[in-house]
Structure 1
Amino acid sequence: MQSFDIQLFDNPIIIILLAVATFTLCILLDQLFTLHLTHDWKRKTKNWHLPLTTIIASLPLLGLLGTINGLLSTFNFMSINNGISQQEVMSGGISDALITTQLGLVLAVPCLILKQIIISRYIRSEVKRS
């Protein structure tokens, strides 16, 4: 099991996914846990709305890129070794490929939910002000 964990973090796409998700979650949590909805908070929320939407949308796409990359390397391994000769290596490659898609989706969903909560909070603060 340890070698699998080490292999997982050797994948640059997984590292990029985790970095992008961490960055996004830090911004979202900062906005979510701000107690006083000042003018500065509203401006920051409004300014981050479109960039966060784009960043969150990139998470599943990065996962898909990891899947394609993993499948290509698996098929390349198969072509070099004249077909299906080592099933363990191939299934491990396909497993690594699918983990990136799963990770991209798992990271995107909470970000989308948090973003929607913040947008709802922003809208409610605008309605109260009116």
Structure 2
Amino acid sequence: MAELTSLLSNKVVLALLGLASFTYFILFDLYFASPSQGWEVKVRNWQTGLLALISAQPLLGLLGTIQGLLDTFEFISIFEVLSQQAIMSGGISNALITTKLGLVLAIPSLVFRQLVLFKLKKQRGHS
């Protein structure tokens, strides 16, 4: 439970979750909407924006990792600790969580975007 609290106190993690939630909302809205001519226009209009939103997810994860590593090295440089190896391994482990989260959130977004495009292609075939 402490790990979850620590994770949710990270501003990059919160930004990642917010960005992914917004991206998934748009994708769900596009995928589950009834196909029509207006729907096709909406799907086409969102394609560039969706790619930007999806691409930002792993980049935000990397930003979190960089910030976590910087925080770890700053902590080590300020405090003379007996076991710097334990501090470093714990800090690096926590830092890498944001990269993992960014990838875990981006991959389903890409798959779901492709499903929306398949639905658009299928709709055009029936028109």
Structure 2, unmatched stretches of 5+, are none
Q: CA RMSD in A?
A: 1.5
- TM-score, normalized by length of structure 2? 0.92
Match of 1:37, SS state, is: coil
Instruction: Provide the C-alpha distance between the structure 1 equivalents of 2:79 and 2:70, rounded to a whole number of angstroms.
Output: 14
Tell me what 1:67 maps to: 65
> Structure 1 segments of 4 or more deviating over 4 A?
none
Q: 1: CA distance between counterparts of 2:116 and 2:81?
A: 52
1:24 equivalenced with 2:29 (yes/no): no
Q: Which runs of 5+ in 1 are unaligned?
A: none
Deviates more, 1:116-125 or 1:76-85: 76-85
Kindly provide the CA deviation profile for residues 49-104 of structure 1, in whole angstroms up to 9, marking residues without a partner as x: 10000100110000000000000111111111247634444333212210000000
Whole-Å Cα distance in 1 between the matches of residues 10 and 58 of structure 2? 16
* TM-score where L is the length of structure 1: 0.90
Q: Which segment drifts farther, 69-78 or 79-88?
A: 79-88
> In the alignment, residue 101 of structure 1 is paired with which amino acid?
T
1:98 corresponding residue in structure 2: 96
- Work out the CA distance in 1 between the residues paired with 2:108 and 2:95: 22
Give the drift of 1:125. 1.4
Distance 2:43 2:103 in 1: 24
Change beyond 3 A, Cα 1:20–1:84 = farther
Contact 1:68 1:97 (8 Å CA) reproduced: yes
Q: Deviations over 1:98-123 (max 9, x none)?
A: 00000000000000000001011111
Q: Distance in 2 between matches of 1:48 and 1:25?
A: 13
Shift of 1:124: 1.8
Equivalent pairs counted in the alignment come to 127
Q: Provide the residue aligned with 2:44 in structure 1.
A: 46
